[in-house]
Structure 1
Amino acid sequence: MVDTNPPPTNSADPASDLYDQNQLTLPPNALQTLIYEHLVHNCYSETARAFNASCRIDSHFGPDEKRLELDDDGDVEMSEGVTAAQTLEPRKRVWEMIVKGQIPEAIEFCNDAFPGVLDGTTKESVDILFELQCQRFVECVRQRCAVDALAFAQEELGKFIFHGPQYLTALNRIIALIAYADPETSPVAEFLSQKRREEVATMLNSYILSYHSLPPTTTMERIVRQATVVREALGEAPKDGKKSGKPQHPKWQLSILVGEAGV
């Protein structure tokens, strides 16, 4: 159950008091909805369904609305006005392919499930396609296929130079992987990390959502970003320990902002 009452004025966080003075209130199930949106956005499909069933959120997993399903060939039929929940399953499948290093398969499936996303007709589309192709090169290096990696760099990655000089700097860093006998211990080893795969998967996931006129970030993330800016404006303690002359407040916490509402 969510406590929708505003936090008391003697809150430990002055920023929370400011929101209280503006009579901030939360609608019923606000926190559950934020959590559910986060789960759907980040492709936690099983957890999202279980959470929705437990909290009885009025969502697009409801019985009266049809979700997009994958057929035996892995294809989906898109329509206008789709929701994040409706695109969840195909987005999850693309995500899983990328984090497993299956980049060609991810690109092929994305083209089938979300036509136009990777067509290269916009700067954003070129950017995400560049990241995917760079990751494909990285996977070749990971498999110790230096010859294939070099050929791929020449045939495919080189094309992006014609889209703008900004790609050249990134290409030089990534291609440097083949210059090291042990790339895992090289100065550019971060490209071989699992974190890098997840970053690329996140980029594509966000772009698929924005391509369908859906928010590329969750409401929870936007709240945190805004709250961070507010805290900086109020003047937190500087990292160097010197006094800035501005009032110093406790570290921002989401639970304080929403009055320590519990789920």
Structure 2
Amino acid sequence: MSGNEASAAPFSMKRWKESMNDLVIRQDDLDKLILDYLVVEGYADVARTFASEAKGCGEIIDPTLDARSAIREAIEQGRIEEAMDRINDYDPAIIDASPLVVFKLQQLRLIGMIRDGRGDEAISFAQTHMATHGKANPELLPAMEETIALLAFPSLDDCPLKGILSGAFREEVASLVNSIILRTQYRESESKLEYLMKVLVWGQTELSKRASFPKIENLTTGELVDPSDQRRGTESEDTEMQAQADLTRSFAHWV
């Protein structure tokens, strides 16, 4: 045990849950957190439905919501050219000022060509539209090379590069585009719920230095794990990035 860790007896699951049950959290506060997440992330239809059914949420006033929602939907459904047209219609400066956004969208277009078996077109597209981004931003080269590597596999079903082929990758790109649109409007691009998830991860990490207690190890399920059953090792598995990824996956199934 390090000098920073206390030798106090671990909190039992029973004691921990009793303490949690003593906390009073109002339902309308939870509803507002959820609605804030849906609006910030650009889920327009779900946000309006939720607001109409939840008490105390009030009317949604966000002039960017419908545009962001349409862009998100186009990206998540693989309609990348439509998404880029919508971004340009909304604000051409976003494309001009965000090389990472352009690269990620072009990467999704390239993946679509490879999925459709258009190998020669994919190579030409990468050389014409993506190579310049790689030269200007060397940190993007590995992602481009990984995408081109998809051409080496006869079947993408057996491809080990599942990450960039998944729907989760499109959701990641959609969230990136959404956050940049918000920032161009000088708006907060992180929802209150995301912030609280990060605080949870940080708080558990700090408290672990001083005591043993039931933790939430899987942020998707929110299930408490008894101290005797917890993973051993560092807390690096539950980083802020993991918190955001888990939160996005959780809501993606719901919306």
TM norm structure 2: 0.71
| Structure with higher helix content | 2
Per-residue deviation at 1:42?
A: 2.7
Per-residue deviation at 1:184?
A: 3.0
Q: Determine whether 1:101 maps to 2:83.
A: no
Q: Which residue of 2 aligns with 1:190?
A: 163
Query: In structure 1, which of residues 12, 15, 33 is the aligned counterpart of residue 16 of structure 2?
Result: 12
Residue correspondence of structure 1 range 145-164 to structure 2 within 5 A: 145-164=118-137
Identity of aligned residues (%): 27
Q: Which residue of 2 aligns with 1:35?
A: 34
Query: In structure 1, which of residues 233, 247, 251 is the aligned counterpart of residue 211 of structure 2?
Result: 247
Per-residue deviation at 1:223?
A: 0.6
Query: In structure 2, which of residues 164, 186, 197 is the aligned counterpart of residue 213 of structure 1?
Result: 186
Distance across 1 between alignment mates of 2:188 and 2:126: 33
Per-residue deviation at 1:255?
A: 11
Query: In structure 1, which of residues 112, 115, 118 is the aligned counterpart of residue 89 of structure 2?
Result: 112
Query: In structure 2, which of residues 144, 148, 152 is the aligned counterpart of residue 171 of structure 1?
Result: 144
Q: Which residue of 2 aligns with 1:51?
A: 50
* Contact 2:71 2:87 (C-alpha < 8 Å) held by counterparts: yes
* Contact 1:14 1:249 (C-alpha < 8 Å) held by counterparts: no
Quote the RMSD (CA, aligned, Å).
2.9
* Contact 2:28 2:56 (C-alpha < 8 Å) held by counterparts: no
Q: Output one character per residue of 1:99-149: Cα deviation in whole Å (capped at 9) or x when no partner.
A: 121111111111111331111x3xxx1112111111110011011111110
Distance across 2 between alignment mates of 1:193 and 1:45: 23
Structure 1 residue runs of 4 or more that deviate by more than 6 Å after TM superposition: 13-17, 25-28, 253-256
Q: Output one character per residue of 1:27-59: Cα deviation in whole Å (capped at 9) or x when no partner.
A: 893222111111212333223223222324234
Distance across 1 between alignment mates of 2:211 and 2:68: 45
Query: In structure 2, which of residues 83, 87, 103 is the aligned counterpart of residue 130 of structure 1?
Result: 103
Distance across 2 between alignment mates of 1:48 and 1:224: 20
What residue ranges of structure 2 are gaps of 5+ in the alignment? 1-13, 225-255
* Contact 2:107 2:147 (C-alpha < 8 Å) held by counterparts: yes
Distance across 2 between alignment mates of 1:204 and 1:185: 30
Q: How many residues align?
A: 206
Amino acid at match of 1:190: G
